[in-house]
Amino acid sequence: MRNDLKEILLTEEEIQEICERLGRVLTEDYKDKNLFCVGILKGSILFMTDLIKRIDTPLAIDFMDVSSYHGGTESTGEVQILKDLGSSIENKDVLIIEDILETGTTLKSITELLQSRRVNSLEIVTLLDKPNRRKADIQAKYVGKVIPDEFVVGYGLDYKEEYRNLPYIGTLKPEIYTK
């Protein structure tokens, strides 16, 4: 798998430093609040696991599985909810945990849906942000790293369900996804 990468963008150590930094900020911002973390499957699972271990305040977790890529390399803009939350988020301070924020179309749909459920507050934390790809009017309050417009894989991020298990994040060689 390593041979399919053009370069390593974030090492394991850099990812853990980001989780530490964000964990400290989130601990401060959510102390004395009713924190409910929503992981967006499947890509966010590794980031969410490492991040919540560093949030030193009580919290609950759940997951949503949504799809807008449908097997391709770009969001189609059509969002499908494959798995919704299993518990109520009413009167909770919801933190959406995402692996990457690109066009924002998927997250925009998710935030609108979750806000309609009478939450106290709703914010987004993302490991990676590609602001130059944004199509929807949405921003993450908490960002691990802003990255260039390249196709990245590893640490939960995939191409056709592969590469998620890489312990770091790398840019995929274009010849891999343009075959």
59 Cα distance to chain centroid = 18
| Domain hosting residue 116, numbered range | 12-150
The answer as to whether 177 is a domain residue is no
Indicate if the pLDDT at residue 127 is higher than 90: yes
The answer as to whether 138 is a domain residue is yes
pTM value is 0.92
- Assign residue 100 the CATH number of its domain: 3.40.50.2020
Over residues 13-25, the mean pLDDT reads 98
Going by pLDDT thresholds of 50, 70 and 90, the confidence category of residue 69 is low
Whole-angstrom distance, CA of residue 10 vs CA of residue 7: 9
Contact between 109 and 79 (Cβ < 8 Å)? yes
The SS3 assignment for 157 reads strand
Q: How many domains does the chain have?
A: 1
80 or 37, which is more confident: 37
Annotated catalytic residue within 102, 123, 162, 175: 102
pLDDT in the model for residue 73: 52
Is residue 102 annotated as part of the catalytic site, yes or no?
Answer: yes
The answer as to whether 23 is a domain residue is yes
Indicate if the pLDDT at residue 70 is higher than 60: no
pLDDT-above-90 percentage for the chain: 85
* CB neighbours of residue 78 within 10 Å: 12
Report phi then psi at 30, rounded to 5: -110, 10
Kindly give, in sequence order, each residue whose CB lies less than 8 Å from that of residue 172, ignoring residues fewer than 6 positions away: 4, 5, 6, 150, 151, 152, 153, 159, 163
Indicate if the pLDDT at residue 179 is higher than 80: no
